[in-house]
Amino acid sequence: MTGSDAAASAASSGAAAPSGSAGPSPHGDDSLYERLGGAGPLEALVDHFYRGVAEDATLRPLYPEDDLDGARQRLAAFLVQLTGGPRRYAELRGDPRLRMRHLAIPIGPAAAAAWLARMGDALAATPLPPGPAGELRSYFERTAAFLVNDGGLSLRGEAPGGSAPGT
């Protein structure tokens, strides 16, 4: 499977894939995963993000009290797969179905803003090539808006890219 296939399959499962969001890659068909530098930089990004979540008064109560490390592993596996790397998330959890998986979590505009702020901190603190980092950032912004399920935006289940969530 190519990187874009992997991203497309994640997209059809309710996630908005980052591919194509920042124009053509200067390196032809290389996946976003390769352009980011592989699993290492993505793991570093997610580690930083969860250190922020642990200290965030809005976000921390939403996450499992005793399993922040499990949450960290799930997000890292998802991002590796989404960007075109090994299908780690499929092995761990199956179909991403991001919107469905977030429905049990009350995500209002403040939680989405806090999530994006913590991820913004993590992006700033992780040495990533600027183009691919920008693609990730734009993906996170679209997806966070799509996952709001408690007041604020009324997206009625429409993914930003038009893909049906949870299917």
User: Nearer Cβ to ligand HEM, position 26 or 66?
Assistant: 66
Q: DSSP H helical segments within the chain, as ranges?
A: 3-11, 32-36, 39-54, 68-82, 88-93, 98-102, 109-125, 130-147
Single-letter amino acid code for the residue at 65: E
Tell me, letter by letter, the H, E, C secondary structure of 68-98: HHHHHHHHHHHHHHHCCCCCHHHHHHCCCCH
User: Nearer Cβ to ligand HEM, position 29 or 69?
Assistant: 69
Least separation, in Å, of the C-beta of 164 and ligand HEM? 17
User: Nearer Cβ to ligand HEM, position 35 or 102?
Assistant: 102
Least separation, in Å, of the C-beta of 23 and ligand HEM? 21
Least separation, in Å, of the C-beta of 150 and ligand HEM? 10
CB 109 within 8 A of CB 152: yes
Question: 45: how many CB neighbours lie within 10 A of its CB?
Answer: 23
Least separation, in Å, of the C-beta of 60 and ligand HEM? 9
Least separation, in Å, of the C-beta of 28 and ligand HEM? 25
> Which of helix, strand or coil describes residue 127?
coil
User: Nearer Cβ to ligand HEM, position 35 or 45?
Assistant: 45
**79 φ/ψ angles, rounded to the nearest 5 degrees:** -70, -35
> Which of helix, strand or coil describes residue 145?
helix
Task: Give contact residues for ligand HEM (rule: CB under 6 A).
Answer: 62-64, 67, 70-71, 74-75, 78, 93, 98, 101-102, 105, 107, 111-112, 115, 140, 143-144, 147
User: Nearer Cβ to ligand HEM, position 15 or 35?
Assistant: 15
